[in-house]
Amino acid sequence: MAATMHDVARLAGVSIKTVSNVVNGYPHVRAETRAKVLAAIDQLDYQVNVAARNLRTGRTGIIALAVPELSLPYFAELADRVIEAAREHGLTVLIEQHGGDRERELEVLSGARRHLTDGLIFSPLALGAGDERLLEVDFPMVLLGERIFHDGVDHVTMHNVEAARAATAYLLELGRRRIAVVGVHAGEVVGSAGLRLEGYRLALADAGIPFDPSLLGEAGLWHRATGAEAMAALLESDAGPDAVFGFNDALALGAMHELQVRGVRIPEDIAVLGFDAIDDAMYSFPALSTVDPGKEQIATTAVQMLVDQAANRQSYRNGVHRPTRVYADFRILVRGSTEPATEASRR
């Protein structure tokens, strides 16, 4: 049905390889010949068959991005940035959702899709300590997140500990002393929850404030709903917080919702701070102060690393190139949920 290089070649009166040369921008083609070929391509509305090219070259121009789920704004925004960054490199993005399900994460790693893609950007949720060996795959991969660390793979992550420490320090500077956290995973050491909690504890220690376990709000899933539930539990205990640090924005927004339902004033009675800097955070009321973990940088860096891996496959295989770990820059975005606002700054 669709035209092939053969058809173009016949119409232009040249060999099929010459058509290929034109299509791929090979320089040593006479201008006249090139024009003939281009005219034929135009006339037949020819498009290269990517599958055939792929079979021949082993490249597809597709990279896979595996995330828990796109319904979570953080991952939706990350995916958005990854798609745009990939586009800059002429790549398209195939998205896989694993929903934090271990089986599905393993499927992503060893899956049949690997022939379809030039590489994988993988943000695991279920995999963790002890699974490092599973990451030693023989295709280009960049790891995201903080569930698992392994020197053998390129990794883009955030300054979780430092950012959480700075965030907590910021709340302390505001004079808050009873800072609750929402999103704790009991017993977790590595992973966003463990690392951010570590940062929180360090900041308290820096300020000489005792750590009080009654201020810890557990939340397995980091959704708005669980944030609201954890907040409710904190309010119904006798913890008496004057600030809440949500380990992500969804948790913080859920907590904020719960506070407002109960008539607690934000930030006067309780200041609220989030993490992730999702778009929503800007439009809550009051707007949610949050930690921007460098989403944009994470996306562009990950894509760049993947492209580099693909380009220098040899060096990566034989160990000339050592895998690197990049920590994105963070900053605290101050908004109305923490600073007693003037009419203007409250937005």
CB 340 within 8 A of CB 174: no
Examine residue 254 and tell whether it contacts a second copy (CB under 8 A). Answer: yes
In single-letter form, the type of residue at position 245 comes to: F
Among 3, 190, 201, 260, the residue binding a second copy under the rule CB under 8 A is 260
Q: Which helix (H) or strand (E) holds 164?
A: helix 160-173
Query: Alpha-carbon distance 179 to 277, whole Å?
Result: 20
Examine residue 16 and tell whether it contacts DNA (CB under 7 A). Answer: yes
State the DSSP code for 61.
Answer: S
Q: Kindly tell me which of 57 and 314 has the beta carbon lying closer to DNA.
A: 57
Tell me the backbone φ, ψ of residue 266, rounded to 5 degrees: -115, 125
Among 11, 14, 67, 86, the residue binding DNA under the rule CB under 7 A is 14
Footprint of a second copy on residues 35-94 (CB under 8 A)?
Answer: 47-52, 54-55, 60-62, 69-71, 73, 76-77, 79-80, 83-84, 92-94
Site size with DNA, rule: CB under 7 A: 29
Examine residue 153 and tell whether it contacts DNA (CB under 7 A). Answer: no
From 11-19, 209-217, 283-291, 301-309, span contacting a second copy (CB under 8 A): 283-291
Examine residue 208 and tell whether it contacts DNA (CB under 7 A). Answer: no
* Sign for the pseudo-dihedral over CA of 185, 220, 160, 99: positive
Q: Kindly tell me which of 160 and 338 has the beta carbon lying closer to a second copy.
A: 338
Please choose which of a second copy, DNA, none residue 283 contacts, taking the beta carbon within 5 to 8 angstroms, the exact cut-off set by kind.
a second copy
Tell me the backbone φ, ψ of residue 62, rounded to 5 degrees: -120, 135
**For the window 215-244, what string marks contact with a second copy as x by the rule CB under 8 A?**
---------xx--x----------------
Among 10, 11, 24, 45, the residue binding DNA under the rule CB under 7 A is 24
Examine residue 346 and tell whether it contacts a second copy (CB under 8 A). Answer: yes
Three-state DSSP at 6 gives: helix
Examine residue 21 and tell whether it contacts a second copy (CB under 8 A). Answer: no
Q: Are strands 325-328 and 179-184 parallel, antiparallel or unpaired?
A: unpaired
Query: Alpha-carbon distance 48 to 55, whole Å?
Result: 13
Among 20, 38, 96, 100, the residue binding a second copy under the rule CB under 8 A is 96
Q: Output the DSSP codes for 180-248.
A: EEEEE-TT--SHHHHHHHHHHHHHHHHHTPPP-GGGEEE-SS-SHHHHHHHHHHHHHTT---SEEEESS
The total of other beta-carbon atoms located within 10 Å of residue 47's CB is 11
Examine residue 52 and tell whether it contacts DNA (CB under 7 A). Answer: yes
Smallest separation (angstroms) from a second copy to the CB of 177: 26
Among 35, 39, 43, 55, the residue binding DNA under the rule CB under 7 A is 55
Given strand 289-292, what is the order of strands in its sheet? 216-218, 179-184, 243-246, 271-275, 289-292, 331-333
Pick from 185, 181, 163: nearest CA to 100: 185
The residues that touch a second copy, with contacts defined as CB under 8 A, are 1-2, 47-52, 54-55, 60-62, 69-71, 73, 76-77, 79-80, 83-84, 92-97, 112-116, 138, 224-225, 228, 253-254, 256-257, 260-261, 279-280, 282-285, 287, 343, 346-347
The residues that touch DNA, with contacts defined as CB under 7 A, are 2, 4-6, 14-18, 20-21, 23-24, 26-30, 32-34, 46, 48-49, 52-53, 55-57
